[in-house]
């Protein structure tokens, strides 16, 4: 039976890898849509440098590796906020609810918003007095299940929308993942592919124009026409992670993790991170490094910590913080609050 499940794991990893291995090694930065889906969620994972595919043991797993929520022993809910680069607000919320032998179901949302902007035109470059909004959001439903006590699978289906002024682009995306507890003590393997879906292209009322399709005298110069925008892929990424826990006691844990990423819009890279929890597993310190080997990356190291306090009736209150260095750009502070119940 174990050999059968190992073969299943290898088959899934092969299937996940095949679409991305066909991509050219040429960097394709800026060639995909819905880039907000690449912003990492959860202060805990961010502080660990984004090396979380094989850790994935809270509600943020729906982003990193949806199979991870199958390992939850109680319901878990989180909300994460970051003042992102260029005065952009980024938020993520999720809840995962174990259903016993029927697996675990989860719900999540992601939003990226910014202040309204002043509308300008060719004739009024200083502004028309009107404003418009722009942003992105995704709403997802996840399901995961333990096939054995050491092998889990999961998926997250999400509705994706990007909008600006009166135009918008919508599609559906799929994240899939597996989590494998190896025969080696303290070692877990996680793998997944995120943002599988159809291409996005902008549509809306402002793309309706009047066009003279046959510029000759006597014809109608005001024929209604629609401008057709280009289509862009979602930021498809294959993520494979390894986590090793050399220390695991009732009062303290120490975890080392590494993720290898193969995106369709950038070069391959590696994330590394660590987490130590002590003082009855209440306090945590974390550190990591993001995008090792990626060309022209501004992301570097990350630091953070957290407080997880267990109350009566097994209720756990969580607060996590992460600092992420972005080199020449604005550094990011990310906060997450959560509850296990």
Query: pLDDT value at position 3?
Result: 54
303-317: average pLDDT: 90
**How many alpha carbons fall within 13 Å on the CB side of residue 298?**
10
Instruction: Express each pLDDT in 7-52 by its tens digit.
Output: 544 444 444 444 444 444 456 777 788 899 999 999 999 999 999 9
The CA-CA-CA angle for residues 261, 188, 143, to 5°, reads 75
**Residue 321 bridge partners (DSSP):** 305, 335
274-279: average pLDDT: 92
Query: pLDDT value at position 27?
Result: 63
- Average predicted confidence (pLDDT) for the chain: 87
Q: How remote is the C-alpha of 68 from its chain's centroid?
A: 14
Query: pLDDT value at position 20?
Result: 44
Query: pLDDT value at position 15?
Result: 45
The confidence band for 330, taking pLDDT boundaries of 50, 70 and 90, is confident
Q: Taking the CB of residue 150, how many other CB atoms lie within 10 A of it?
A: 14
**CA-based Rg of the chain, rounded to a whole angstrom?**
23
The CA-CA-CA angle for residues 13, 16, 17, to 5°, reads 85
**DSSP code at position 333:** E
Query: pLDDT value at position 109?
Result: 97
Query: pLDDT value at position 85?
Result: 84
DSSP 152-204: EEEEEEEEEEEEETTEEEEEEEEEEEEEEE-SSTTEEEEEEEEEEE--B--EE
Instruction: Express each pLDDT in 12-23 by its tens digit.
Output: 444 444 444 444
Distance between CA atoms of 39 and 319, rounded to whole angstroms?
20
| pTM of the complete model | 0.83
Query: pLDDT value at position 298?
Result: 81
Domains of the chain: residue spans and CATH: 2-118+138-197+235-340 (2.40.160.60)
Query: pLDDT value at position 218?
Result: 60
Judged by average pLDDT, the poorest of 32-41, 126-135, 211-220, 303-312 is: 211-220
Instruction: Express each pLDDT in 162-203 by its tens digit.
Output: 998 888 899 999 999 999 999 999 999 999 999 999 998 888
- Higher local confidence (pLDDT), 22 or 276: 276
Distance between CA atoms of 210 and 215, rounded to whole angstroms?
13
72 has pLDDT over 90? yes
89-113: average pLDDT: 95
Instruction: Express each pLDDT in 192-213 by its tens digit.
Output: 999 999 998 888 888 788 777 7
Query: pLDDT value at position 12?
Result: 47
- Of 292, 293, 302, 337, nearest to 318 by C-alpha is 337
57-79: average pLDDT: 95
Query: pLDDT value at position 26?
Result: 55
**DSSP code at position 315:** -
């Amino acid at each position: 039976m174990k050999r059968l499940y190992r073969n299943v794991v290898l088959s899934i990893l092969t299937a996940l890898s095949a679409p991305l291995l066909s991509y050219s090694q040429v960097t394709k930065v800026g060639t995909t849509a819905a880039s907000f889906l690449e912003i990492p969620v959860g202060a805990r994972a961010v502080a660990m440098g984004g090396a979380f595919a094989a850790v994935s043991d809270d509600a943020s797993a729906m982003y990193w590796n949806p199979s991870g929520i199958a390992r939850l022993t109680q319901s878990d809910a989180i909300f994460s906020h970051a003042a992102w680069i260029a005065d952009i607000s980024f938020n993520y919320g999720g809840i995962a609810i174990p259903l016993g032998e029927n697996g675990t179901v989860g719900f999540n949302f992601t939003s990226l918003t910014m202040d309204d902007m002043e509308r300008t035109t060719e004739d009024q470059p200083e502004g028309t007095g009107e404003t418009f909004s722009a942003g992105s959001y995704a709403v997802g439903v996840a399901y995961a299940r333990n096939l054995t006590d050491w092998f889990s699978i999961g998926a997250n289906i999400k509705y994706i929308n990007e909008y600006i002024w009166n135009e918008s682009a919508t599609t559906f995306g799929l994240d899939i993942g597996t989590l494998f507890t190896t025969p080696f003590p303290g070692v877990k393997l996680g793998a997944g592919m995120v943002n599988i879906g159809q291409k996005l292209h902008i549509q809306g009322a402002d793309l309706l124009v009047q066009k003279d399709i046959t510029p000759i005298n006597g014809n109608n110069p005001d024929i209604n026409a629609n401008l057709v925008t280009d289509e862009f892929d979602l930021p498809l990424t294959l993520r494979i992670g390894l986590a090793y826990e050399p220390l695991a006691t009732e009062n303290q844990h120490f975890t080392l993790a590494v993720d290898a990423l193969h995106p369709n819009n950038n070069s391959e890279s590696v994330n590394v991170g660590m987490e130590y929890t002590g003082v009855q597993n209440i306090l945590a310190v974390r550190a990591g490094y993001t995008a090792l080997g990626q060309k022209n990356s501004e992301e570097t190291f990350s630091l953070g910590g957290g407080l997880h306090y267990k109350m009566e009736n097994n209720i756990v209150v969580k607060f996590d913080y992460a600092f992420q260095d972005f080199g020449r750009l604005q550094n990011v502070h990310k906060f997450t609050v959560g509850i296990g119940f």
